[in-house]
Amino acid sequence: MTRFSVICTVYNHREYIEKCIVSVIDQSFDDFECIIVDDGSNDGSGDIIQKVIQNTNQPSRFSLIRIENSGQSGAFEAGLKLATGDYISMIDSDDIWLPNKLKVVDEYIQKFPQYGMFTHKVFIIDEKGARTSVIRPQGAKLSHGDRRQEVLNTARIVSPATSALTFKREICEALMPSPLGAFSGSLDAYLSLGAAKLAPICGIEEILAEYRIHRDGQYIKRLSSIEGLSKQISIQSSIVKGLDLSEKAKNRNSFFVRNELGYKKLSGESTLSTYILLIKAYALDKDFKMSNKLALSMFWLLFIFSPKDLAKFMWIYFQERQTGLYKKNKIISKEGSSAILDSKLNALNYTQATSKILDWSRQKVVRRVHAANVHMVMEGIDDPAFREVVNTADLVTPDGVPLVWGLKLLGVPNAERVYGPTLTLNVCEAAAAQGVPVGLYGGTPESLEEFKAFLHHEFPGIRIVCAIAPPFRLPTHEEDAADTQQILDSGARILFVGIGCPKQEWWMYRHRDRLPLVMLGVGAAFDFHSGRVKQAPAALQGVGLEWLFRLVMEPKRLWKRYARQNPRFVWMFGQQLLRERVLNRPSRGVQE
The whole-number pLDDT of residue 592 equals: 40
The whole-number pLDDT of residue 160 equals: 83
Reported as type and span, the H/E element at residue 531 is: none
Q: Mean per-residue pLDDT for 29-49?
A: 94
Residue 420 CA: distances (Å) to CA of 205, 311, 500: 35, 32, 12
Top-confidence range, 191-195, 230-234, 307-311: 191-195
- Which residues are within 8 A (CB) of 237 and not within 5 positions of it... i.e. 6 or more apart? 250
Query: Do 156 and 252 contact (CB within 8 A), yes or no?
Result: yes
Q: Report whether pLDDT(216) > 50.
A: yes
Q: Mind listing the domains of the chain with CATH numbers?
A: 4-213 (3.90.550.10), 226-323 (no CATH), 344-530 (3.40.50)
The whole-number pLDDT of residue 51 equals: 92
Name the H helices within 343-413.
350-363, 374-382, 384-391, 401-409
- Which residues are within 8 A (CB) of 225 and not within 5 positions of it... i.e. 6 or more apart? none
Q: Mean per-residue pLDDT for 431-457?
A: 95
Judged by DSSP in three states, 264 sits in: helix
Rounded to 5 degrees, what are φ and ψ at 363? -80, -10
Residue 279 CA: distances (Å) to CA of 270, 301, 329, 430, 476: 16, 10, 32, 44, 54
**Which comes out higher in pLDDT, residue 209 or 338?**
209
The whole-number pLDDT of residue 329 equals: 41
Residue 175 CA: distances (Å) to CA of 42, 43, 192, 208, 241: 30, 31, 10, 25, 13
Rounded to 5 degrees, what are φ and ψ at 160? -85, -60
Which range has the worst mean pLDDT, 40-49, 56-65, 573-582? 573-582
Q: Report whether pLDDT(328) > 60.
A: no
The whole-number pLDDT of residue 590 equals: 46
Alpha carbons 576 and 108: distance in angstroms, whole number: 50
Q: Report whether pLDDT(553) > 80.
A: yes
pLDDT band at 591 (very low <50, low <70, confident <90, very high): very low
pLDDT band at 587 (very low <50, low <70, confident <90, very high): low
Q: Mean per-residue pLDDT for 91-107?
A: 96
Query: Do 136 and 121 contact (CB within 8 A), yes or no?
Result: yes
Q: Mind listing the pLDDT tens digit for each residue in 239-296?
A: 999 999 999 999 999 999 999 999 999 999 999 999 999 999 988 887 777 777 877 8
Alpha carbons 465 and 463: distance in angstroms, whole number: 6
**In which region does residue 533 sit, left (phi positive, over 0), alpha (psi from -120 to 50) or beta (all else)?**
beta
- Which residues are within 8 A (CB) of 400 and not within 5 positions of it... i.e. 6 or more apart? 372, 373, 374, 375, 417, 544, 546
Which range has the worst mean pLDDT, 35-39, 102-106, 181-185? 181-185
Alpha carbons 10 and 138: distance in angstroms, whole number: 27
The whole-number pLDDT of residue 327 equals: 53
Alpha carbons 590 and 585: distance in angstroms, whole number: 15
CB atoms within 10 A of CB 537: 11
Alpha carbons 16 and 126: distance in angstroms, whole number: 12
Query: Do 340 and 573 contact (CB within 8 A), yes or no?
Result: yes
Q: Mean per-residue pLDDT for 218-240?
A: 84
Give the type of residue at 362: R
Alpha carbons 373 and 550: distance in angstroms, whole number: 13
Share of the chain above pLDDT 90, in %: 65
The whole-number pLDDT of residue 583 equals: 63
Which range has the worst mean pLDDT, 46-50, 219-223, 241-245, 351-355? 219-223
pTM for this entry: 0.64
Name beta bridge partners: 207. Answer: 121
Q: Mind listing the pLDDT tens digit for each residue in 167-210?
A: 999 999 999 999 987 677 789 999 999 999 999 999 999 999 99
**Which comes out higher in pLDDT, residue 294 or 492?**
492
Name beta bridge partners: 521. Answer: 370, 497
Q: Are strands 166-168 and 117-125 parallel, antiparallel or unpaired?
A: antiparallel
Q: Mind listing the pLDDT tens digit for each residue in 117-129?
A: 999 999 999 888 8
Q: Mind listing the pLDDT tens digit for each residue in 368-424?
A: 999 999 999 999 999 999 999 999 999 999 998 999 988 888 888 778 999 999 999
The whole-number pLDDT of residue 369 equals: 97
Q: Mean per-residue pLDDT for 71-100?
A: 95
Q: Mean per-residue pLDDT for 1-12?
A: 94
- Long-range contacts for 502-510 (Cβ within 8 Å, ≥24 apart)? 502/376, 502/379, 502/383, 502/386, 502/389, 504/442, 505/370, 505/376, 505/386, 505/389, 505/390, 505/393, 506/386, 506/389, 508/368, 508/393, 509/368, 509/389, 509/392
Alpha carbons 47 and 245: distance in angstroms, whole number: 42
Alpha carbons 296 and 279: distance in angstroms, whole number: 9
Q: Report whether pLDDT(530) > 80.
A: yes
Which range has the worst mean pLDDT, 220-229, 240-249, 302-311, 325-334? 325-334
Q: Locate the DSSP E strands across 198-342.
A: 201-212, 337-340
Which range has the worst mean pLDDT, 247-251, 541-545, 552-556? 541-545
Rounded to 5 degrees, what are φ and ψ at 537? -55, 150
Alpha carbons 198 and 302: distance in angstroms, whole number: 38
**Helices 420-434 + 350-363 axis angle, to 10:** 50
CB atoms within 10 A of CB 491: 12
pLDDT band at 584 (very low <50, low <70, confident <90, very high): low
Q: First and final CA of the chain: distance in angstroms?
A: 71
- Which residues are within 8 A (CB) of 414 and not within 5 positions of it... i.e. 6 or more apart? 332, 334, 347, 349
The whole-number pLDDT of residue 331 equals: 36
Q: Are strands 4-10 and 131-136 parallel, antiparallel or unpaired?
A: unpaired
Name the H helices within 410-542.
420-434, 445-458, 477-490, 503-510, 525-530, 538-542
The whole-number pLDDT of residue 140 equals: 77
Q: Mean per-residue pLDDT for 149-159?
A: 92
Q: Which of 152, 406, 155, 122 is nearest to 259 (CA)?
A: 155
Share of the chain above pLDDT 70, in %: 94
pLDDT band at 330 (very low <50, low <70, confident <90, very high): very low
Query: What mean pLDDT value characterizes the chain?
Result: 89
